[in-house]
């Protein structure tokens, strides 16, 4: 694996290839990242992983400053997975150039996390757009856990007629049905126990919705999960993934964002 911290050196290395498969990350790699990277490595071509904690997508300085990092472990994982290139740039390397494409934010950016994290998705699309212009990958692989982010990146790419293809990858979960996330590292033992109980309840609640045993009631769910230890609820919504609206059929995902302790957790299933 070759490590690059400078975009010009990286571009010089990869310009001879037209089959780069790109996996953007903020580090603190976990089994979810590993699954995406394995898919990339299995594809024909070269796999390039980025590690960059992007300040522009954080609307809370404390969240940025406490975001988990584990560079040594990340390097071990990437080498074990036989990644070809790692791009670990500085802030200036990413942001000190003028982009060719303008940021496009689909109206879905105002829903879900967009209602609670001002400027978050603009920061996400900005940095992804910059990576795409630096790397010019054939494909970009993204996880379904961050469905809203995945959708908005797709729309930006389509709107700007960028040639990179987007591949969505399934959410990887532990034995308690909790989606792997770097932020889980910030939870203590008691908080993890609370999360397990909440996820068990939400999974059962969705099952009851599907079997028509009960109707969706936000206040009821909020009251219940707060009694289980959730500190704050941003949203719990049912969304049809095709229409991005409240479902009229039994085909929907339950989306949530809530806090346990000081940690904000999101998922959809």
Query: What are the catalytic residues?
Result: 33
CA distance 239 to 268: 9
Backbone CA torsion sign across 170, 139, 73, 130? negative
Angle between helices 218-227 and 189-210 (to 10 degrees): 150
Q: And the tokens for 141?
A: 């692989």
CA angle 236, 241, 243 (to 5 degrees): 105
């Amino acid at each position: 694996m070759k490590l690059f911290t400078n975009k010009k050196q990286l571009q010089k290395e990869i310009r001879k290839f037209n089959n780069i498969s790109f996996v953007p990350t903020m580090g603190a790699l976990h089994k979810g990242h590993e699954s995406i990277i394995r898919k990339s490595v299995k594809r024909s071509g070269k796999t390039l992983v980025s590690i960059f904690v992007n300040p522009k997508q954080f609307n809370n300085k404390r969240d940025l400053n406490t975001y988990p990092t584990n560079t040594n472990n990340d390097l071990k994982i990437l080498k074990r997975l036989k990644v070809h290139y790692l791009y670990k740039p500085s802030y200036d390397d990413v942001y000190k150039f003028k982009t060719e494409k303008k940021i496009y934010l689909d109206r879905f950016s105002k829903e879900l996390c967009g209602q609670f994290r001002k400027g978050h998705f603009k920061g996400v699309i900005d940095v992804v757009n910059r990576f795409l212009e630096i790397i010019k990958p054939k494909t970009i692989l993204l996880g379904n856990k961050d469905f809203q982010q995945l959708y908005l990146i797709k729309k930006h790419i389509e709107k700007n007629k960028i040639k990179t293809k987007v591949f969505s990858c399934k959410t990887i979960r532990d034995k308690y049905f909790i989606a792997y996330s770097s932020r889980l590292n910030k939870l203590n033992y008691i908080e993890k126990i609370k999360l397990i109980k909440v996820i068990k309840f939400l999974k059962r609640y969705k099952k009851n919705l599907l079997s028509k045993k009960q109707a969706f009631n936000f206040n009821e769910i909020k009251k219940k999960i707060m009694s289980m230890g959730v500190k704050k609820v941003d949203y719990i919504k049912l969304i049809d993934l095709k229409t991005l609206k409240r479902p009229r059929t039994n085909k929907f995902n339950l989306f949530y964002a809530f806090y346990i302790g000081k940690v904000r957790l999101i998922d959809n299933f």
